Amino acid sequence: QQGLEEPQVEALPEDQIRQLKTRYGIKRKMVMYAPGGFDIRKNFEGLIKAFALLPSELRADYQLVIVSKINDHLRLGFDQLRKKAGLAEDDLVLTGYVSDDDLVALYNIATLFVFPSKYEGFGLTLLEAMACGAPSIASNATSIPEVVGWDDALFDPASITDMAEKISRALIDEGFRRQLKDRGLKQSKQ
């Protein structure tokens, strides 16, 4: 994905949300990650394992949605990771390429944006998600804490349990999720 020119918060009409979700095979609420690449530092395996650790009743309401252009070889690898983690086929959605407009719309409808990267130069997609009002949590590695600007929104990317607990808290605790959204919007403006 390219950097977006002006990510923004949008209230999307229900029919547009339905069409968007149908286009990408999204059937439930979203826990989203837009990695901006597929190297090992992006920590896909950790994120998939952490999502698998969520209580089953919570997972029944959500899908892990990874938004990025993907080739068949990588798709196969993700399917293996999903199976190994014990997730059902529809627990993980790989969107493939999305347009900038659809990316902004997906940020806007995500219940939670998770950025589990072990190393980032900056974390542009995290900043974009925050600017679109997506409640966002992220790893406490390298420059990422500076982007997030709030310790409560961070987790240890090397700890599957820590990541799962932070995801779970963000999905269950509406007040925490609202704080993530509000602080993210404020931080993204800086």
Per-residue pLDDT of the chain (190 residues; tens, 9 = 90+): 444 555 678 889 999 999 999 999 999 999 999 998 888 899 999 999 999 999 999 999 999 999 999 999 999 999 999 999 999 999 999 999 999 999 999 999 999 999 999 998 788 999 999 999 999 999 999 999 999 999 999 999 999 999 999 999 999 999 999 999 999 999 999 8
Q: How far is CA 181 from CA 2, 84, 95, 122, in A?
A: 23, 32, 24, 20
Q: Kindly give, in sequence order, each residue whose CB lies less than 8 Å from that of residue 20, ignoring residues fewer than 6 positions away.
A: 12, 26, 102, 105, 106, 109
Q: Which helix (H) or strand (E) holds 76?
A: helix 72-85
78: left (phi over 0), alpha (psi -120 to 50) or beta: alpha
Cβ atoms 149, 180 nearer than 8 A:
no
Cβ atoms 1, 100 nearer than 8 A:
yes
Report the Cα 158 to chain-centroid distance in Å.
17
Report pTM.
0.94
Token pair 């995500």 in the structure block, residue: 110
